[in-house]
Structure 1
Amino acid sequence: MAMPAVARETVFALRRQIAKIEGTLPERLEAPAGAPGAIPGKVRSGFPSGIAEKQIYRDAAGSEITIVRRGLAVAPQDAFLPTGIEGLDTALGGGLPKAALSEIHGAETRDAGAVAGFALSLASLILREKQGLPVLWIGTAEIFREAGFPYARGLNGLFGVAPGQLLFSEAPKLLDALWIAEEAARMTAFAAVILEIRGSPHKLDLTATRRLHARAQSAGRPVLLLRQAGEAEPTAAPVRVIVSAAPAASRRTVAGPLAGSIGRPAFTVAIGKSRTALPGQFTLEWNPDEHAFAERSAPQERAENPVAVVSASLRGADPAPASGSVLAFPAIGSPAAGGQPPRQQHPAHRRPRRAG
């Protein structure tokens, strides 16, 4: 039995209202098969590039019902922060939303540096538009103890961020960090708010991310959620990217690539979630002089190092060959054969052990 036109319109209105609260449009809102008066069509959205599919249905009263599919909302062009990479911005539907919660994931703990570097690159782009406002970076004591703080002297040199433009807030617990992030996200005194957490804590659920997303929308400021070794979970963030470190290319000079050198910082950015639902993976380089991203072309990829990073143990089988030049050091104080120093070098061994 076909759904009545009034009931169908009510369902569509409720879905649009829920999507507006969550900050996302439903990816698929279709009328039942064979619905009367269906007029499919396509319209160009407000994004710099991309097509939003729109279908128009007429109910029994003759009024039009517009259904937008694939999550491409009509929004002003200045509602997004473009990365400058055409392919990435197109896949994201225009770039990162300026007034929303965005997730930046690192699959492993060792990717924390790449995630932080990518967030600082985005902060540099944000501060270019919001001059005079600082960025607040929130984290727990565990986060800063594990990953450390950004190097103050490198902020200005690599990202053009003055040390006074980046404020840190260290919270003892995750609940405290979430409370600080919610209060800061509603303020217009910050250009952006960065919340860094570790893993997938159950306290960072869909309700908590909805509050952060709603505060960001209300203040018109971006909130970046950095996840160290976090799993992809349902959140209210319309955008999620997975960032890892990419091998640095050789430094480019007038005479060509300089062999054995380390070039600009590079990131591998994969789209895990977006309004367009378009997949993609990009290798980006950060230009510290122009403070802008550049997409690396295939010929600039660095070849894999055929030498093992760490040689195998001498007691293991088939040890890896030594890399580089072998230097001879004085044998004074070297351990004896067998891997242990002579007993006379450890006078503490002759002392009686303490009891209790």
Structure 2
Amino acid sequence: MAMTAVARETVFALRRQIAKIEGTLPERLEAPAGSSLDAADVTANTDVTIVRRGIAAATQDAFLRTGAERLDAALSGGLPKAALSEIHGTETRDAGAVAGFALSLVSLILKQGPRLPVLWIGTTEIFREAGFPYAGGLHACFGIEPEQLLFSEVPRLVDALWVAEEAARMTALAAVILEIRGSPQRLDLTATRRLHARAQSAGRPVFLLRQAAEAEPTAAPVRLILSSAPAAPRSTIAGPLAGSIGRPAFTVSIGKSRTALPGQFTLEWNPDEHAFEERRTEDSVAVVPASGRRKDIAAATGAVLAFPTVGSPAPGDQPSRPQRPAHLSSRRAG
């Protein structure tokens, strides 16, 4: 039994060393049974984070807390600061929501640490399709000065990956944002491992924004799927203001995380406090208000009308002269 315990300790130490070399988070390793580092003993220590039966070597300061308690708990403390994190938009129309959520995270980073510049990298196709963030709204909504947000526009994806790798190792940047469209072959497991390793080495986050992309194996420990959510009416002293548009809202789904816990959350961004607030189900409001004259739901639809099938007109509807299909008729010019 003693030899078995020693063997387990040796295997666990080797797995941890391999994880450090490959850039894998140590939270994914399970503590061996009977180990001196028992989960019950570590629970009382507030400087570490417990993930299932494993032990995370990172402290609470290593995570960026969004402020939404349930989301942070599902992510085991929040988004890792020194790591590659994916933010997905399943459709092209979600590019605005993905960009807004990324800017919200940058706002949280700048509020907690030094106000260093942020580099946003993308190809010409990306910026032509989704555009650039509005400079006038950066300070009003996120507290980011326009000169703090730097852009690097390159013609090819290989150039964008090279710029991102070089920027990820720089400690003079608060964060690096790489925006990519679709699922290109160059963005493989090797490329994401390089980005993740450089983010860990510099101690800075790298956010990988994906437009209209499919979920693929990457080295990012966290993948969030973003889409826009209906905005609630503005709150006043007398109650919600009918017909108004309130704070921007996001629907956040956990696609991958260290804890492997699924979940979907609706977050509202407070542009005044520069913080997220979760909108619970009981706090949600109807997008279309109910009718003031009737409390019941809408009645069933009326009678279904049967239209004559094509090619067999009803009696009396036969044209007076033969007609030819439109695609066989000659086109008049003028």
**Shared fold (TM-score, shorter chain, > 0.5):** yes
Of 280, 283, 292, the match for 1:300: 283
Structure 2 letter corresponding to 1:150: P
Residue 138 (structure 1) aligns with: 121
CA displacement at 1:138 relative to structure 2: 0.3
Of 250, 253, 259, the match for 1:267: 250
Residue 23 (structure 2) aligns with: 22
Match of 1:278, SS?
coil
CA displacement at 1:278 relative to structure 2: 1.6
Structure 1 letter corresponding to 2:68: I
Q: Output the TM-score relative to the length of structure 2.
A: 0.79
Of 148, 153, 169, the match for 2:131: 148
1:108 to 1:135, Cα distance in 2 relative to 1, 3 A: same
Of 162, 169, 180, the match for 1:186: 169
Residue 43 (structure 2) aligns with: 44
Structure 2 letter corresponding to 1:203: R
CA displacement at 1:236 relative to structure 2: 1.1
Structure 2 letter corresponding to 1:184: A
Match of 1:270, SS?
strand
Deviates more, 1:16-25 or 1:159-168: 16-25
Q: Tell me how large the CA RMSD over aligned residues is.
A: 2.8
% of aligned pairs identical?
72
Q: Does 1:82 align with 2:83?
A: no
Q: Is the 8 A contact 1:23 1:213 kept in 2?
A: no
Separation of aligned partners in 1, 2:45 and 2:206: 23
Separation of aligned partners in 2, 1:258 and 1:38: 58
Separation of aligned partners in 2, 1:38 and 1:163: 52
Q: Is the 8 A contact 1:49 1:90 kept in 2?
A: no
1:46 to 1:90, Cα distance in 2 relative to 1, 3 A: farther
Residue 107 (structure 2) aligns with: 124
Match of 1:209, SS?
helix
Match of 1:18, SS?
helix
Separation of aligned partners in 1, 2:185 and 2:113: 34
Of 84, 90, 114, the match for 1:101: 84
Q: Is the 8 A contact 1:134 1:190 kept in 2?
A: yes
Deviates more, 1:13-22 or 1:210-219: 13-22
Q: Is the 8 A contact 1:47 1:75 kept in 2?
A: no
CA displacement at 1:10 relative to structure 2: 4.8
1:95 to 1:38, Cα distance in 2 relative to 1, 3 A: closer
Gaps of 5+ in 2: 291-303, 306-332
Matched residue count: 291
Q: Once the two structures are superposed, what CA deviation does each residue of 1:185-231 show, in whole Å capped at 9, x if it has no partner?
A: 00011100000001111111111111101111111111000011111
Q: Is the 8 A contact 2:74 2:263 kept in 1?
A: yes
Q: Is the 8 A contact 2:16 2:29 kept in 1?
A: no
Gaps of 5+ in 1: 55-68, 308-316, 319-348, 351-356
Match of 2:230, SS?
coil
1:138 to 1:210, Cα distance in 2 relative to 1, 3 A: same
Q: Is the 8 A contact 1:19 1:25 kept in 2?
A: yes
CA displacement at 1:11 relative to structure 2: 3.7
Q: How does 1:277-356 map to 2 (within 5 A)?
A: 277-305=260-288, 350=334
Structure 2 letter corresponding to 1:22: G
Of 121, 134, 144, the match for 1:161: 144
Residue 177 (structure 1) aligns with: 160
Q: Is the 8 A contact 1:123 1:192 kept in 2?
A: yes
Structure 2 letter corresponding to 1:24: L
Match of 2:111, SS?
helix
